[in-house]
Amino acid sequence: MNNIMPKKQGGHLNIGEVKSSILEFVLEQKGDVGEPTIRKYLFEKYDVIAQGSINRHLHDLQKHGCIELIPPQKRLRNYWNIETRTNLKNIRLVFPGLRLNKYGKAIGIIIRELEQDQNNDCFDWLKIYIYLFISVSFFNTCIEADTKILYQGSWNSYTTINDPFRHKRINDLLKICYITCAKRYPDFKVSEDMFTDIVTKTPWEIFRFDHTGYLIKLFEKYLPGLPKEIPLQISKTKLSRIEKIPEKIPDEIDDKNLVKYMLNTLQLIVERQLDYESLIHDLLLKHFFNHDILIGVDSKEEHEFVKKTLENHALPKGSTDSPYVNLRKATLADAKLISETIIKYNQSAKLSDIYDYYDEVYQAVVKYYSNFQYEITV
């Protein structure tokens, strides 16, 4: 029998090296990791660790909140895992040199917790997966920040930098519409803040496909005191055949012009929302890309990905396409880039470690681009 005696415990190892190696190993494994498996890995890697010290290292990591002990249930041995954003926060605090976003398990933790706050579709999550994978700053911020604050920040950035003129015009139109409603209709008692909130947050896009009854009920419930003719006239246009209004907004309009001004306001709100939804993730990507550059953690791969993404969303010179066509073009180009990136960095296997349907969406994207040259028709 060949008995290999380990070297003196801790010999020639940097402080925290063993614990850091344990975390890396657990992050690389799918699911819970048994303690014997961890012992074997450390013995093979270092040939310096006495078996009795492994448990101490694991419990030290547990005390720091970096790792979770999985209750044994019917199993005879302890199992360990990294499961929560809190685990990732603590790992980043105690082991700042460990680059967490290169591990699919860590990315999966972030995505699962983000999903609880954001109602995105599968393709959005594929895109976010890649953003987390290539940007250290984006990943670290998603560990630390409340996602509502993150998305509110992207909205503020969009309305301040990307679309300030349309944003101001919407606000000016909302104000004149509210003044007219309050002045012309005595039964209208809604406050200006509530009026603005309702009008800006209602998904007006659906009324392009005729939901007259729903629109009337919406006005009755949230904007009581306005005549039924207003939602009826709005519904009749389907937010398309809209008469233009002057560039300079007057100080006052009469009730005969109210619907015309409201329709122009709603049209701008729909266009703004559509534009923002096409840019939201790219706004985040661009911001954190700049931050990666400032702190010196940017990579060649990140530069390449960001450059191509921004090109996908840049409008061609002289383009007369509708916002819907431009959005579809950008989305299809993004899908192609995402599938190429997943293949290039061998991340396809990691997707099914998070959720199977991400992998299914990815496979569908790959199949589409491997068999067809797409054309845009709307």
Mean pLDDT for the stretch of residues 74-92: 88
Do residues 134 and 127 lie in contact, with contact meaning Cβ atoms separated by under 8 Å? no
Asked if residue 47 has pLDDT above 50, the reply is yes
Asked: is 17-98 a CATH 1.20.140.10 domain? The reply is no
What residue segments make up the domains of the chain, in order of their start? 17-98, 120-162+283-371, 164-272
Among residues 94, 42, 47, which one has the least CA distance to residue 66?
Answer: 94
Name the band, by pLDDT with cuts 50, 70 and 90, for residue 9: very low
pTM for the full predicted model:
0.74
Neighbouring CB atoms inside 10 A of 110's CB total 22
Among residues 346, 204, 331, which one has the least CA distance to residue 277?
Answer: 331
Name the band, by pLDDT with cuts 50, 70 and 90, for residue 25: very high
DSSP-assigned letter for residue 68: E
Asked if residue 162 has pLDDT above 80, the reply is yes
Asked if residue 316 has pLDDT above 70, the reply is no
Under the phi-then-psi rule, with left for phi > 0, alpha for psi from -120 to 50, and beta for the rest, what region is 115?
A: alpha
Report the number of secondary-structure helices (H) and strands (E) in the chain: 17, 3
Which pLDDT tens digit goes with each residue over 145-156?
777 788 788 899
Name the band, by pLDDT with cuts 50, 70 and 90, for residue 324: low
pLDDT at residue 268, as a whole number: 94
pLDDT at residue 224, as a whole number: 95
Beginning with the edge strand found earlier in the chain, give each strand of the sheet holding 33-34 in spatial order.
33-34, 79-81, 68-70
Mean of all residue pLDDT scores within the chain: 83
pLDDT at residue 4, as a whole number: 40
pLDDT at residue 3, as a whole number: 42
Mean pLDDT for the stretch of residues 267-278: 88
Size (the chain), residues = 378
Name the band, by pLDDT with cuts 50, 70 and 90, for residue 279: confident
Distance between CA atoms of 281 and 300, rounded to whole angstroms? Answer: 20
Name the band, by pLDDT with cuts 50, 70 and 90, for residue 325: confident
Coil vs helix vs strand at 33: strand
Asked if residue 19 has pLDDT above 80, the reply is yes
Half-sphere exposure of 91 toward its Cβ, with a 13 Å CA cutoff? 27
Name the band, by pLDDT with cuts 50, 70 and 90, for residue 66: very high
Mean pLDDT for the stretch of residues 42-53: 74
Half-sphere exposure of 198 toward its Cβ, with a 13 Å CA cutoff? 16
Name the band, by pLDDT with cuts 50, 70 and 90, for residue 320: low
Of 188-192, 207-211, 290-294, 320-324, least confident by mean pLDDT is: 320-324
Mean pLDDT for the stretch of residues 327-343: 81
pLDDT at residue 358, as a whole number: 65
pLDDT at residue 269, as a whole number: 95
Coil vs helix vs strand at 80: strand
Distance between CA atoms of 378 and 376, rounded to whole angstroms? Answer: 7
Name the band, by pLDDT with cuts 50, 70 and 90, for residue 259: very high
